[in-house]
Amino acid sequence: GAVVSQHPSRVICKSGTSVKIECRSLDFQATTMFWYRQFPKQSLMLMATSNEGSKATYEQGVEKDKFLINHASLTLSTLTVTSAHPEDSSFYICSVRGTVYSGEKLFFGSGTQLSVL
């Protein structure tokens, strides 16, 4: 399967600061990446679809000015949580859709635990 690297794995920040999370596809070029959010003991909630070279597509209810997504290259997508507040504390996970060989298989990064104080 695809190898997806996500960094950092854990971040603690003060309220009002911005946090950037990186997601890298290590073994193939990914035109599409996805960003999910997961609260404790809950399922994965799709936040947005990141498309290389174009604007991200956000799911209903997700503030695009709050969660900035940049997919500047075929191997890197970033999620920036701007002016973070305690309610933004969550587990953020990126994913990559597999190559033509694996069809629509989705491979996930290791996740980033964000804690906003």
What distance in Å separates the CA atoms of residue 85 and residue 116, rounded to the nearest whole number? 6
Q: How far is CA 76 from the centre of its chain?
A: 10
User: Is residue 54 close enough to count as binding another protein by CB under 8 A?
Assistant: no
SS3 percent helix, strand, coil of the chain, rounded to 5, is 5, 50, 45
Instruction: Tell the smallest beta-carbon distance from residue 38 to another protein (Å).
Output: 9
User: Is residue 90 close enough to count as binding another protein by CB under 8 A?
Assistant: no
Nearer to another protein, 34 or 67 (CB): 34
User: Is residue 28 close enough to count as binding another protein by CB under 8 A?
Assistant: no
Instruction: Tell the smallest beta-carbon distance from residue 16 to another protein (Å).
Output: 26
User: Is residue 107 close enough to count as binding another protein by CB under 8 A?
Assistant: yes
Q: Give the SS3 label for residue 87.
A: helix
* Partners of 38 in the β-ladder: 44, 91
Instruction: Tell the smallest beta-carbon distance from residue 111 to another protein (Å).
Output: 5
Among 103, 115, 116, 117, binds another protein (CB under 8 A): 103
CB under 8 A: which stretch of 11-19, 63-71, 73-81, 99-107 binds another protein? 99-107
Spatial CB neighbours of 41, under 8 Å, sequence gap ≥ 6: none
